[in-house]
Structure 1
């Protein structure tokens, strides 16, 4: 198989992007249809090969020519930008205020919970003291069983 021969034609537009059109001359072969004349194959490449690592930039990344500061378009862009900056700063301040409010609410809740812990700890201490006092009183009222046989019975069956 033979390779098609190529001739390159380069043109540059106002955006700094070169369009290289390759003229492909295909050699006739039995499996491919006959090509009548050169075919142009456009390829986008930067005009400056060192820019962007030799890759073409998308339209959104290409630099626009600076607008005249007195033009209507420039004034409108500045106005939109100023509004966007103002909105961004307001959102940032609002977020900071919301965060500070949340911090204050959490601090108050923490103080309430700590006060509740103190109260419940005091209540637990009082209940423990009551329990221990009751257990001690029960222990004092119970007589240990006698070691010499069964304990005397208050209801005797001797004469009945």
Structure 2
């Protein structure tokens, strides 16, 4: 038997605007109610992710800002270079595998032809042996049993 859950109402003030948040925890049979923490909201009504909260923006002319931009630009350059290198390596591997595949297909054709020739030789030899084998003279299988 479950009880109706009670909403948790919180109130905060953001940029001079009062914000009311309501959270409801559903309680099942034998379960204790759980409280869900409220996330600080960003302008526009969306909750901001904890790692994405904006810090005080540094002045674009400051040394700290320029250093961060420089480090970021280097990181982006390295990332793009690694991506290009990986694509080049993959393309090289694809080309190697295509060449190997072509060599193997040519070998299959050659071995198939060789097999066909050997089969023909074997069958010709088997027919020649069968034609040359004659029953022993003077004795027939039907007359031996009498």
- Counting matched residue pairs gives 112
Partners of 2:134 and 2:65 in 1: how far apart?
A: 104
Partners of 1:57 and 1:135 in 2: how far apart?
A: 83
* TM-aligned CA distance change 1:98 to 1:78, over 3 Å: same
Q: Which has the larger radius of gyration?
A: 1
1:78-97 equivalent positions in 2, closer than 5 A = 78-97=69-88
Tell me what 2:68 maps to: 77
Unaligned runs of 5+ in 2: 1-11, 15-36
In structure 2, the residue corresponding to 1:63 is in which secondary structure? coil
What's the TM-score once normalised by structure 2's chain length?
Answer: 0.63
Unaligned runs of 5+ in 1: 1-9, 13-42, 151-160
From 97, 100, 109, give the equivalent of 2:100: 109
What's the TM-score once normalised by structure 1's chain length?
Answer: 0.58
Tell me what 2:143 maps to: 149
* TM-aligned CA distance change 1:46 to 1:144, over 3 Å: same
In angstroms, what is the RMSD of aligned CA positions?
3.2
Which structure dedicates a bigger proportion of its chain to helix? 2
